[in-house]
Amino acid sequence: MPSIADEIASRRTFAIISHPDAGKTTLTEKLLLYTGSIQTAGSVKGKSSSKHAVSDWMDIEKQRGISVTSSVLQFTYNGCCINILDTPGHQDFSEDTYRTLMAADAAVMVIDGAKGVEAQTVKLFRVCALRGIPIFTFVNKLDHEIRDPFDLIEEIENVLGISTYPMNWPIGCGQNFRGVFDRASRHVLAFEGDGRANATKKVGEIEASLGDAALDELIGEENHRALMDDIELLDGAADEFDLDAVRSGKLSPVFFGSALTNFGVEPFLKDFLRLAPAPSPHIDAVSGDEVDPTADDFSGFVFKIQANMDKNHRDRIAFLRICSGKFERGMEAFHVQGDRKLKLATGTAMMADDRAIVDEAYAGDIVGLFDPGIFSIGDTLCTGKRHVRFAGIPTFAPEHFARISQVDTLKRKQFVKGMEELAQEGAVQIFREIGAGMESVIVGVVGVLQFEVLEQRLKSEYRVEVRRQPLAYSDIRWIANDPEELDVQKLNLTRDTLRVEDMRGNKLLLFTSPWNIDWATEHNPALRLSEFGNVT
Ligand code: GDP
């Protein structure tokens, strides 16, 4: 019987982040294929997949064939228990995508080698960087023409502000892609692509050492010479490999490969599992102490709430990231924010193609708890004499705004209740223009689909029809100054900057462009703006 410590040491909980179309779904699927978790390609949900995975919980999802909320895939490989947190990235990009990153111990950043660092990657990266989690880079699509690898590395470093360590180095790309050079073993892994996109196993990897005459034959004389030059340059100029720097999110190991043709996925997975951390301690905000994941006492926090998984039940599911100890179905735990003991009667884990009831789970795992409306995002659950309380989840800056008002003014009560409840649940963020009432509300979302979710839920759950007027604001900032020290009304702002407040009375500014943010800070030296809201 493995001990709690063994169970936890074997866990790797991570998220894969990318800009849409960089290859996140393909890489996830290849990881599942390698590890034998799925047998056929196409089972991982994605825009092109006909098979819906775990979370088709709303009509809107079924109509569009996408998932609105993120789920978790758990599987075992080589003695590791792997949890991949799915971070929706297309139209379904939402605040939940960011919240999910709060539950990850590491991130894999997939970059399209032809495109480099794209907008959504930057946003997701910043949330990971906020937490200082290790970030592993997978430069994808080497079977296509990609940009110069040195340029890509430089872009990652400059745009994202993280140092890099190329673990391997590509030999050609596109038609001329011959493989990668593994810097640790000093071997070339040759690519013998036959373009079979869904091959389950690696496509021919032949090892040879740099400088071997045989390499001329394998990759061509010219490629061999270019590779030797590149490696000399890399060995001389690049950062040293430093595991501590990787673990603290300061140095990103970079892997080149091609998820579609299965090249480089297996070596990546092996290195990733070796270098990525097991669940690490979380800080108890009350005492400031670290909570040891292997402690006997159970603890965890809610990072996401998903409503109406089953249309026949109003219940929601609260996703809990376990931070220490062991979860057992039916156990009692203390709900810190609710100040009472609860029986955690039902837990579910999100498996690759089914939702299964979980009997036990350990630090690093995610369980879904049935929630009759008692949990909020950021809540802590724990056992043991000493109650811990994890720092909550920040509020992330929405990027799309609309004014929402009720069509039938007689339904004001339902409207206000619906808006407040949905905002509390974390589905949307709501703001009030300073000095205005609640007849209309400004709603902010991270992904535009959330507007539709909001409208549909107001209609079906609260019987309220609403009107939506899109607003031209694109950026929001929390005012971090003490309310006593700064009068928001007296700020010197451009005419199209709006002063609003959130549900907790925090003051914010809505801007139509980043240029206006600069203007505001330049003209109000005392003003301190924050991109992330207070923790919940
Ligand atoms: P996601 O949006 O990040 O999940 O991206 P997908 O995994 O859905 O991939 C987007 C497109 O890129 C799909 O058409 C994939 O087949 C393709 N793709 C993914 N990986 C590779 C690769 O390694 N090489 C090539 N040529 N295409 C790829």
Pick the residue whose CA is nearest to atom 6 on ligand 1. Answer: 23
Closest CA to 400 of 360, 448, 335: 448
Contact 345, 358 (CB under 8 A): no
Tell me, using a 6 A CB cutoff, whether residue 121 lines ligand 1: no
Fill in the amino acid letter for 93: F
Q: Give the number of other CB atoms < 10 A from CB of residue 43.
A: 17
Q: Is the CB of 120 under 6 A from ligand 1?
A: no
Q: Tokens in use for 91? A: 């139209």
Instruction: State residue 131 phi and psi, 5-degree precision.
Output: -95, -10
Q: Answer yes or no: are the C-beta atoms of 215 and 231 closer than 8 Å.
A: no
Query: Tens place of pLDDT for every residue, the chain, 536 residues?
Result: 778 899 999 999 999 999 999 999 889 888 888 877 665 554 454 433 333 333 333 443 344 333 333 467 888 888 999 999 878 777 678 898 999 999 999 999 999 999 999 999 999 999 999 999 999 999 999 999 999 999 999 999 999 999 999 999 999 888 888 899 999 988 888 887 555 444 444 445 677 788 888 888 888 899 999 999 999 999 987 678 999 999 999 999 999 999 998 889 989 999 999 999 999 999 999 899 999 999 999 999 999 888 765 555 566 778 899 999 999 888 999 999 999 999 886 655 443 344 455 678 899 998 888 888 889 999 999 999 989 999 888 889 999 999 999 998 888 899 999 998 888 888 899 999 987 776 779 999 999 889 998 999 899 889 999 999 999 999 999 999 998 889 999 999 999 999 999 988 899 999 999 999 999 999 999 999 998 887 65
CA of 262 to the centre of ligand 1 (A): 11
Residue 241 DSSP code:
P
- Using H for helix, E for strand and C for coil, what is the string for 172-223? CCHHHCCEEEECCCCEEEECCCCCCCCCCCCCCCCEEECCCHHHHHHHCHHH
Measured CA to CA, the distance from residue 83 to residue 351 in angstroms comes to 9
- Choose one of 30, 260, 265 to mutate for the ligand 1 pocket test, by most ligand atoms within 8 angstroms of C-beta: 260
User: Is 239 known to sit in a ligand binding site?
Assistant: no
Distance from the alpha carbon of residue 21 to the mean position of ligand 1, in angstroms: 6
The CA 110 to ligand 1 mean position distance, Å, reads 10
Judging by DSSP bridges, how do beta strands 179-182 and 168-171 pair with one another? antiparallel
Q: How far apart are CA 32 and CA 26, in angstroms?
A: 10
